[in-house]
Amino acid sequence: DIVMTQSPDSLAVSLGERATINCKSSQSVLYSSNNKNCLAWYQQKPGQPPNLLIYWASTRESGVPDRFNGSGSGTDFTLTISSLQAEDVAVYYCQQYYGGPLTFGQGTKVEIK
């Protein structure tokens, strides 16, 4: 199974400041047939289902604010919130859909400092 490891487990950022979440996979999730990374990012707020933010590692889902950006390739990925807003308080998960059992990172809790 591909193990996804996020860091940090939690972070507190001031409003308007940058938040950065890292995700590392135990093996490459680069899909050779289309040269895209099978990596997604989700946001989950309390009492709500997860919400897809980013797929193919860097493609923003329709309707997602442009302050959310995904980057990385192979085994190392990053989700950046360029200017944290109050409504961004949530747990964020990375997930690989390259193959085998689909796996999530353990989650990163983002709070306001």
Partner 1 sequence: EVQLLESGGGLVQPGGSLRLSCAASGFTFSRYAMSWVRRAPGKGLEWVSGISGSDNTYYAGSVKGRFTISRDNSKNTLYLQMNSLRGEDTAIYYCANHRRGSYNDAFDIWGQGTVVTVSS
Residue with Cβ nearer partner 1 (19 or 42):
42
Neighbours of 65 (CB within 10 A): 13
Q: State the Cα–Cα distance between residues 51 and 73, nearest whole angstrom.
A: 22
Interacting residue with partner 1 among 20, 27, 28, 103 (CB under 8 A): 103
**Region from 13-21, 72-80, 81-89, 102-110 binding partner 1, contact rule CB under 8 A:** 102-110
Q: Does 60 bind partner 1 (CB under 8 A)?
A: no
DSSP assignment of 36-59: EE-EEEEEE-TTS--EEEEETTTE
Interacting residue with partner 1 among 2, 38, 90, 110 (CB under 8 A): 38
- Among residues 102, 73, 85, which one has the least CA distance to residue 16? 85
Q: Does 101 bind partner 1 (CB under 8 A)?
A: yes
